Structure 1
Amino acid sequence: MVPLAVFLVLVLAASPAVSSLKLTDLTKICEPKDPELGPCIVKMAQEMLAKMENGLPEWGVPKLDPLKVPTMNVQRGGGAAAFNITLIDSYHHGLSEIRFLSASARPKNYELRFKVWLPRYSIVGKYDMSGRLLLLPITGRGDSNITLSNLTAEWTLRGKPMVRDGLTYMDQQQFRVKVFPEKVRVRFENLFEGNRLLGATMNNLLNTHWKELYKDLGPGLEEAISQLHLALTKKMFSKIPFTEFFPDQ
């Protein structure tokens, strides 16, 4: 296995330690013993996403679409496909278009699983890159656009109980993301110190062979997105008692 190292810095606005906003202000909660628990969670998640699209400061949730991310590093180390891409002041477009397809939960184990669909997910901003993609050396810095189209994704959230002031919260430990795009397109401006011919040739090659590109880029991108989503949802779960999501679990 080629080792992967992905680091992400996400700056969120400070929010109050105690929130007056309740989960029931946004959606109807689900009963753990409900035989239709999965569809209920799908509906709950979709309703919450709609209410959070423009941000919920009380829960530490920023505006989601576009979501501004100051720095996101996507790395793959070792072997012929080693590279490092730093995405700077990027805007992530498409989160508001998420459609929840299915869901399951094991409340006693503090685990949630979702399958979602998006028509498009784009990361637009500055980049700084060096290494190899498609086994070819590549360097550059400038404007970039990474767009995944018609994609499904699988989310797995895991945590452990945390008791605070007599209430039980989920101390989220993991947000694992697997992404399955129908197509990937990239644009990296100013490759090879601004050599337009080499830059255009490389961008065309990356897009022509996008499936092979995603084999190189996908694992690191999935890990970076996982850490981004963890930063977002971990703060939310720290403010809402888990028993609000699943009473009498």
Structure 2
Amino acid sequence: MKIIVTFLAIFALSAAVELPPSLKTCRRKDPQYQQCLSAAVPLFIKSLSAGLRNFRILPIEPLAVDSIKIGESTGPVSVKQSYRNIKLYGLTRGLEVNNYRIDFNKLILTSDSYNPQVDFVADYELDGQVLVLPIHGKGHSNITMIGLHAKNTIYCDTHVKDGETYLRIKKYDIKFHPERVLMHFGNLFDGDNALAEQMNTFIAQNSDLLFKELQASYEETFGLVFAKLGNEVFSRIPMNKLFPQ
């Protein structure tokens, strides 16, 4: 029985550090280390589109999120927002990652990324004010960011589990710079079609301005979602396997 238990323990440990074929590792001593990372990272992220069954990581194309809430801001766009049954489309399609850098002393990862289009589709509920216009509703929504440039700064620490050191994301800071934003909210004003059409027309004509007012809230929310996703990977692969010496 002891032999069987020992064998199972060794098997479990080896399984925990077995890297997926899509994860190309780069040795830190490689003179072309940064270039290697810049090529390897987007390939691995794209491989997550179908999920990694052995790592119990679900597909991220689309990325499903149960719910998020965005509190009311104090600017000209002051809207309480609640989203459920969220699907994020386009996180991997056409993804480009540039200037990927890792500061191993401070455990900070930075990069620039580009997505041709990201769609945020969800059931929504909102209430507040857009400029001088009241707004409320509950229904289906779609927020589309076209030509999404982003700056990513990931702050990490480490923890030890079963004798292995793992990275852990403390904060994922992301800054959005979309070329264009499209927004649409169905069933505004409890189904008052005339008011809803007027408001969606107003939103369509001012979507870039409205997005800028809400941008910080969206960035914070996306950062929490991406931190959770990143930790799904980091918690399963020891640091020395992800970033070998």
TM bucket, shorter chain: 0.7 to 0.9
Q: Report the equivalent of 2:160.
A: 163
Q: Deviations over 1:41-95 (max 9, x none)?
A: 1111122123221111333421111112111222233354321111110211001
Note closer, same or farther for the CA distance 1:17–1:234 as it changes in structure 2 (3 Å cut).
farther
Q: Report the equivalent of 1:35.
A: 31
> Greater relative contact order (Cα 8 A, min sep 6): structure 1 or 2?
1
Does structure 1 residue 186 correspond to structure 2 residue 166? no
Q: Report the equivalent of 2:226.
A: 229
TM-score where L is the length of structure 1: 0.86
The structure where helix makes up a greater share of residues is 2
**Is the 1:99–1:118 Cα contact (8 Å) retained in structure 2?**
yes
Alignment gaps of 5+ in structure 1: 1-15
Number of corresponding residues: 233
**Is the 1:110–1:158 Cα contact (8 Å) retained in structure 2?**
yes
Note closer, same or farther for the CA distance 1:24–1:36 as it changes in structure 2 (3 Å cut).
farther
Q: Deviations over 1:108-130 (max 9, x none)?
A: 32221111110100011211001
Q: Distance in 2 between matches of 1:19 and 1:143?
A: 42
Identical pairs, percent? 27
Q: 1:232 offset after TM fit, Å?
A: 0.7
Q: Report the equivalent of 1:92.
A: 88
**Is the 2:152–2:172 Cα contact (8 Å) retained in structure 1?**
yes
Q: Report the equivalent of 2:41.
A: 45
**Is the 1:133–1:216 Cα contact (8 Å) retained in structure 2?**
no
**Is the 1:146–1:186 Cα contact (8 Å) retained in structure 2?**
yes
Q: Distance in 2 between matches of 1:33 and 1:169?
A: 20
Q: Distance in 2 between matches of 1:156 and 1:71?
A: 24
Alignment gaps of 5+ in structure 2: 1-11
Which of 89, 111, 115 is 2:112 aligned to?
115
Bigger CA drift: 165-174 or 145-154? 165-174
Does structure 1 residue 75 correspond to structure 2 residue 80? no
Q: Report the equivalent of 1:176.
A: 173
Q: Distance in 1 between matches of 2:197 and 2:108?
A: 45
Alignment of 1:133-212 (within 5 A): 133-212=130-209
**Is the 1:21–1:58 Cα contact (8 Å) retained in structure 2?**
no
Q: What SS does the aligned partner of 2:59 have?
A: coil
